[in-house]
Amino acid sequence: MKLLILISAVSLVTTIGALIFFTQYGLPDPACANRQQLFYWLAYKDLSKQSWQTRLILANRLEQECSKDLDWQSVSVSLDETQQNRVWDNIPLLLRPWLVEKARSYARLTVEKRSDYVDRLIDIITAWRGIEKLLPSQIKLSPGAKKSPGLSNLLCSEIDRIVEESELPERKQIGELWQALKVRWLLRICS
């Protein structure tokens, strides 16, 4: 119990200190931000007001920083409800440029290299599944929700949105990547 109180106190002090620092001095460049600073970007900034390029940089840095060895529960404890809401609002804004860029990269690969590429993406997405621990409690507990608000559904929704709103080349690329992800995922589950 004492350890939980100590962890909560340290998290609160860290969060307050970071909030004061970042509101006064701004957030660091996302291209060189560490893991904690990246989460500050997600928790304190409205990413809808950021450029596509900034969101892509953030998404790629999160891919690098959060693809393994991340205790999502400890991140969750350090965020209050408002910050969790902001993070959850920002996730789809990062998924879109990240997915479009991954689809472009996939389209440029030779057929021989595509399976390995898709396997790496599945590994990344699997590591990110813990992000669901950051769900604000009112979303977790919302009665009558037709879909789970988890990462899988966000990913599917964002891919559907990209396909609906994109021009033909981008639509084709994201469709091909999505099909490859589903097939590869199924093969991994069945083997």
Across the 191 residues of the chain, what is the mean pLDDT of every consecutive 10-residue run? 60 57 65 88 93 95 81 77 87 90 95 95 84 66 52 78 82 91 88 77
Rounded CA-CA distance 140/147 in Å is 11
Q: Domains in the chain: how many in total?
A: 1
Range of the domain at 169: 2-190
Rounded CA-CA distance 73/65 in Å is 16
Identify the pLDDT of residue 9: 56
Identify the pLDDT of residue 7: 65
**Model pTM?**
0.75
Contact residues for 77 (Cβ-Cβ < 8 A; gap 6+): 7, 8, 11
Contact residues for 15 (Cβ-Cβ < 8 A; gap 6+): 78, 79, 80, 83
Identify the pLDDT of residue 27: 82
Identify the pLDDT of residue 138: 53
Identify the pLDDT of residue 142: 45
Identify the pLDDT of residue 158: 81
Identify the pLDDT of residue 13: 56
Identify the pLDDT of residue 46: 95
